[in-house]
Amino acid sequence: MRLMKKMLYTVMAAMTLFAVAACGGGSGSSGDSTQNSGTNDSTQSSGGSLSGVVIDGYWQGAEVFMDFNGNFEHDENEPLVTTDAYGQYRFENLDNDSFGHPVVAKGTAGDTYDDGLGQYLADNITMVSLDNGSMRVVSPFTSLHWYYMNNDNMTFEEARNKVIEEFGLPSHQAIFEDFVEKSYDNTSYQNMVNTSMRMGEYMGYYFSSDNSTTNMRQEMMNGFTYMHQNVGWDNFTDDSFAPGMGMMRDSYPINGMPGMGMGN
């Protein structure tokens, strides 16, 4: 039933966009990419709006905001919206300068529903996206893309290629696509969804366990460094770890790490 509703919602949205285009609407573009600012202007939205989707599975009830100062916390001057039942969000009345900034999504334990897991989040999870496309996907993969750009000083393209290589993703644009929607009839994308849910679950586990900092930006850096060095990206693609069952945290516990301890 949720799939049928999602498909109907998508068709209706497409019809609306067609009607707007017929009335003279359009989108501007620029061929340049700005390094380390998250811009990829070739598909930038126009008309002061930016829409997207938050994916681990689809997150319902997550807060999403434009992060103008890059601190991963919502500040008073930053636009804030909430995702719907299909993980979708939309910002309106944005000025041109807004599009070059990260989009941050915050899922709250007990309040944000993960449609992929069929349950509310067990831990608070923060994710980020630097892609400046007409539909801005926010997911564990886009968060890792951000990490490579900011921690390893990679360019936008280098970071994208690194994520694709690490996880064997099915297409060049996979991390910036609605890979949940593509997974309904594609095994490669279904594997990507399962990997995403394992990553999201462990990110929440790490964030709840890391008492070394209260700076969310630094915690994101710490988390991906830890996951890479102490868990290994290949284990997040291992189908023997069923998402949502706590199997990865049981196999790779964080207790005992210097400066860290369980927060819940």
Encode pLDDT of 238-253 as tens digits: 998 988 888 888 999 9
* Count of residues making up the chain: 264
Residue whose structure tokens are 């380390």: 36
pLDDT 10s digits, 50-83? 999 999 999 999 999 999 999 999 999 999 999 9
What DSSP string describes 79-142?
Answer: -EEE--TTSEEEE-S--GGGGGS-EEEEE-TTTSEETTTTEE-SS-EEEEE---SSEEEESHHH
- Which value, in Å, is the radius of gyration of the alpha carbons in the chain? 18
CA distances in angstroms from 130 to 126, 137, 210, listed in the order given = 14, 9, 24
Mean pLDDT of the chain: 81
Can you read off the two tokens belonging to residue 101? 């900034």
Phi/psi at 39 (nearest 5 deg)? -90, 145
Burial 132-143 (b: 16+ CB within 10 A, else e): bbbebbbbbbbb
Span 175-232, pLDDT tens digits: 999 999 999 999 999 999 999 999 999 999 999 988 888 899 999 999 999 999 999 9
Separation of alpha carbons 250 and 232, rounded Å: 15
What would the pLDDT profile of 13-38 be if each residue is shown by its tens digit?
444 333 333 444 333 333 333 334 44
Nearest-angstrom CA–CA distance, 234 and 238: 7
How does pLDDT run across 153-184, given as a tens digit for each residue?
Answer: 999 999 999 999 999 999 988 999 999 999 99
Q: Is the per-residue pLDDT at 12 higher than 80?
A: no
pLDDT digit string, tens, across residues 141-152: 999 999 999 999
Closest CA to 216 of 73, 101, 69, 64: 73
38-52 mean pLDDT: 60
Q: Model's pTM, two decimal places?
A: 0.80
